[in-house]
Structure 1
Amino acid sequence: MDIRQINYFVAVAQNGSFSKAAEMLSLSQPTLSLAVKKLEEELGVKLFYSFNKRQELTDEGQALLESSRHLLDAYQQTLENVKTSRNSRSGTFTLGLSPLFGACFFGDLIPKFNQEYPRIQITMIEDGANKIDERIASGQVDLAVTLKTERLSTFSNCHFTTQRNVVLLHKSHPLAGERTLTVSQLREDAFAIFNQDFILHRQIMSACHSAGFRPKIALLSSQWDFMVELVAKNHAVSILPKPVLDKHPDPNVVCVPLTDSMKYWDIALAWNKDRYMPNACRLFLDFVLEHLPPDDL
């Protein structure tokens, strides 16, 4: 028994005639009669009997008619729910986000989104960009904020923002008065940088290698504020995106822009092109694209 058979049965019951029901359904009468006959054979009961040129319901037919009306109502409601789900302002999705991106850009953005869409729940997964990229590939996140690298081309993506990277120096450091710096000028310093879970770690190590030296490491961490603290106490230098220090300045720390391969911090929104994106996530993506931070070029 399927919904088509139920619909045919109800049409005959309401019209009291196979011919009138067939006309209403735009079917041939033999096709309709055969469908009802198959339904009776499947249920093992007689649903109609003929009286005064009308098709009247048997007791079994009457019982089926009462249940069928509820079933058709539920079926119609299901169709409506599916059609309107695209415009639903509720749901859940998973966002992959580095703590650094959260600190710089999403402290205001997510609360504003929650205020506009209070019935959408965001599950946050915070990790370094290397790990976040792995989660995009494995489908563990619906949407992620990551750095623009060669791996980004394997995902669907769009631009989020481009910001400046800066060298963090103690105010007494000999290079603190420079207007710009290159990574090469830091070869004698000890570095406090992100650990291997972060793409910025790989970029810094690569930049140092290109400049002809292996950096001395004072600290590998996942905590940017720990790095700033070491710089503030004159134990290390660091390379971080400028928005970090804009939001959390330290009077003992000087920021000097870079001019070499580490000059820019390119951030993208990315998602797995082979994975379905929930409607709630699409709403968030559209919201973010309407509130992009300005580029610092």
Structure 2
Amino acid sequence: MDLQQLKYFVEVAKQESFTKASQVLLVSQPSISKMIKNLEDELKATLLDRSERKIKLTDVGAIVYEQALKILQSVEDVYSSVNELVHIEKGTIKMGLMPTIGVLLFPNILAGFKGEYPQIDIDMVQCSAKQLTLKVKQGDIDLGVTVMPVDYDIFETIPLLSEELVVIVDSEHWLVEKESVHLSDLKNESFILLTEDYVLHDVVTKSCVQSGFEPKVAYKSSLWDIMGEMVATQVGISIIPRSMVSRFNNEKVHAISISYPIIDWELVLIYKKNKYLSFAAREFIKYIQSNKL
């Protein structure tokens, strides 16, 4: 068993495809297949179920996958430790941000940090909160800006900001003259929600259920702008963070506070517990702690 075998195996398991893994690794598909077959022969066990269109882990494969992640992470930590000693105040931070939220809140922080550490590069990816936490857990990225709740057994968290969720309605809606509303007053409304990939979908749905009703969903989207336009054209109402309201340059969209229950939208910076953090990542964490949003 060698590291190359484990690396190829992990990537195929992540991508659920030999073809996609080949594209990521820049290695031919036959080479990957042969390497993983050698690993299976060595372990005398089938690790991947190849019978379906998407490659799936077998029971044994799932165990090997978890151990392989730990081994590859340990090796990366060795290289990172050496690199830190050789290249003081240099490095790269792999960071994940949620779409739009990160864009609205983080430019000044990133610019300030870059000014103090010009030799540290920041590679950013944008994805939903659920995808982001998975990437941090798997070690694909070092730090992530996401929303609560998160699993405290897996992640360390640094609070960034907390804001309320508000209802947005069209200019002719019966709520438009109200300053605030109880969530239960919305039980007969049609909702426009983010898709299930987003934590906000779960937060809104759970809050509605706790207020005594299941939200009637008129439409789901992964795009904030489309949600705003649908509200403006009276397709339904939506519940979003207050900071997002300014994104809708539309006089037909109005925001109303939710007086009960108050639903907080808490942004946090997360990183995996017990994972080695490079000099660059640690310095960014210190910078965030001393320059709150």
TM bucket, shorter chain = 0.5 to 0.7
Partners of 2:253 and 2:212 in 1: CA distance: 27
Counterparts of 1:163 and 1:126, CA distance in 2: 21
The structure-2 alpha-carbon separation of the partners of 1:201 and 1:248, relative to structure 1 and needing over 3 Å to count, comes to same
Give the aligned CA root-mean-square deviation in angstroms. Answer: 2.2
Q: TM-score, structure 1 length as denominator?
A: 0.66
Within-5 A mapping of 1:1-297: 83=85, 85=87, 88-149=88-149, 151-261=151-261, 263-293=263-293
Deviation for aligned residue 1:278:
1.4
Alignment identity in percent?
A: 27
CA contact (8 A) 2:84 2:279 kept: no
Q: Distance in 1 between matches of 2:137 and 2:83?
A: 31
Q: Deviations over 1:131-177 (max 9, x none)?
A: 21212222221111111215245311111111111111112110111
> Residue 231 and residue 81 in structure 1: after superposition, are their counterparts in 2 closer, same or farther (change >3 A)?
closer
Contact 1:182–1:258 (8 Å) recurs in 2: yes
- Give the secondary structure class of the aligned counterpart of 2:192: strand
Contact 2:84-2:278 within 8 A present in 1 as well: no
Call closer, same or farther: CA 1:81–1:207 in 2, change over 3 Å: closer
Q: For 1:82 and 1:220, how far apart are their aligned partners in 2?
A: 45
Question: Which stretch of the first structure deviates more once superposed, 104-113 or 275-284?
Answer: 104-113
Q: CA deviation at 1:249?
A: 4.3
Contact 2:166 / 2:242 at 8 angstroms: preserved in 1?
Answer: yes
Give the letter for the 2:267 counterpart. Answer: I
Letter in 1 for 2:135: R
Do the aligned partners of 1:92 and 1:122 also contact (CA within 8 Å) in 2? yes
Instruction: Give the aligned residue type for 2:177.
Output: G
Contact 1:97 1:127 (8 Å CA) reproduced:
yes
Larger-Rg structure: 1
User: Whole-Å Cα distance in 2 between the matches of residues 179 and 81 of structure 1?
Assistant: 56
Cα deviation, residue 262, structure 1: 5.0
**Cα displacement (A) at 1:234:** 1.9
Query: How far apart, in 2, do the equivalents of 1:124 and 1:81 lie?
Result: 21
Structure 1: tracts of 5 or more residues without a match: 1-79
Farther-moved stretch of structure 1 (204-213 vs 107-116): 107-116
Would you say the 8 A contact 2:98–2:126 is kept in 1? yes
* Cα deviations by residue, 1:182-219 (Å, 9 ceiling, x for unpaired): 22112222211211111111011111212222222222
Distance 1:140 1:260, change over 3 A: farther
Aligned 8 A contact 1:152 1:270 in 2: no
**TM-score computed with the length of structure 2 as normaliser:** 0.66
Q: How many residues align?
A: 212
SS of aligned partner of 1:258: strand
| Partner of residue 36, structure 1 | none
Distance 1:83 1:278, change over 3 A: closer
Q: Distance in 2 between matches of 1:213 and 1:81?
A: 55
